[in-house]
Amino acid sequence: MCESLAALFDLDGVIFDTERHYKILFDEIGQKYCPEHPNFANETMGMSDEKVLQKYFAGREHLHQVILDLIADYDETLPLDYIDGFMEFVQDLKKHNVKIAIVTSSYMRKMKIVFSKHPELEQLIDTLVTPDKAPISKPDPLCYLTAAKELGVLPENCFVFEDSFNGISSGRSAKMNVIGLTTTNSADSIRSKCDIILDNFVGFTFDKMIELKNAK
C-alpha cells in the first residue's frame, strides 16, 4: 500500500496574496511602537499575534488590545486574492488523494472571515491548524507536526509550502519537505533554506512535487 502524502499550506503569502498588505500594516506598527526594530515587519512575518505581543510588547500590556484591534480591523477589509495557480494545483493534489491542511499563525477569528469569503477553500482541506490548536508559534515546528499527526501522515511524507523565514524554519525543523514561495522574500534569501522555490503555483503539479521527494 502506498504511504499517505500531505500538502501543508501556510495562508498569507502562500494561498492568498496578502503578505504584502500585512507588511504595510506591520511597517506602520513597527515605526510607531517599535522604532528600535527597523525590520519589524520582516521579523514578525509568520508569527502569531500572541507571539508578536509577547516578544515585542512585553511590559507594555496597555498596547496589546490596541495592536489586536488594528489587526482585526485590517483583516475585515483585506482583499483575498489567490496566489496564481493555487486552486489548480490543489485540485490536482486532490485527484491524487493527497491530504490537504492549512497551517497558519492566524486565529480562528480571521479564518471565519476567510471561509465566509471563500467557502470553497474550507471544502478542499482535511484539517486546519491555527494557534488556537497549536499555541507555540512558528518558527517552532509544533504547528506542522500537529497537522501531520491529525492527518496521519509521517513528517517525511509532508510537503510544506511557506513564504516567511519563520514558516520555512518551522517546516524545516519538523523534518518535512519545504517548498518556498518568493511572494514575500527574494529567491536568493530563501534558496538555501528550501528544497525548491516557486514564484507561484502556475505549472506546478503533483508529479513535480513527487519528483522532489524522489530526488532525495
> What is the phi/psi pair of residue 128, to 5°?
-130, 125
Find the DSSP H helices in 34-164.
40-44, 49-56, 64-77, 86-95, 108-117, 119-124, 142-151
CB 26 within 8 A of CB 46: no
Report the C-alpha gap between 74 and 211 in whole angstroms. 39
pLDDT in tens, 85-96: 999 999 999 999
CATH of 6-17+80-215, one of 3.40.50.2020, 3.40.50.1000, 3.20.20.140, 3.30.70.3040: 3.40.50.1000
Q: What does DSSP assign to residue 106?
A: S
DSSP assignments along 4-55, one per residue:
P-EEEE-SBTTTBTTHHHHHHHHHHHHHHH-TT-TTHHHHHTT--HHHHHHH
Average pLDDT, the chain: 94
pLDDT in tens, 104-115: 999 999 999 999
The model's confidence at residue 1, banded by pLDDT at 50, 70 and 90, is: very low
pLDDT in tens, 115-166: 999 999 999 999 999 999 999 989 999 999 999 999 999 999 999 999 999 9
The model's confidence at residue 2, banded by pLDDT at 50, 70 and 90, is: low
Quick one: pLDDT at residue 27?
Answer: 93
**pLDDT (average), residues 33-46:** 91
> What is the phi/psi pair of residue 129, to 5°?
-120, 115
Quick one: pLDDT at residue 33?
Answer: 95
Domain boundaries, the chain: 6-17+80-215, 19-77
**pLDDT (average), residues 16-29:** 89
**pLDDT (average), residues 179-203:** 96
**pLDDT (average), residues 160-181:** 97
Q: Tell which wins on pLDDT, 116 or 216.
A: 116
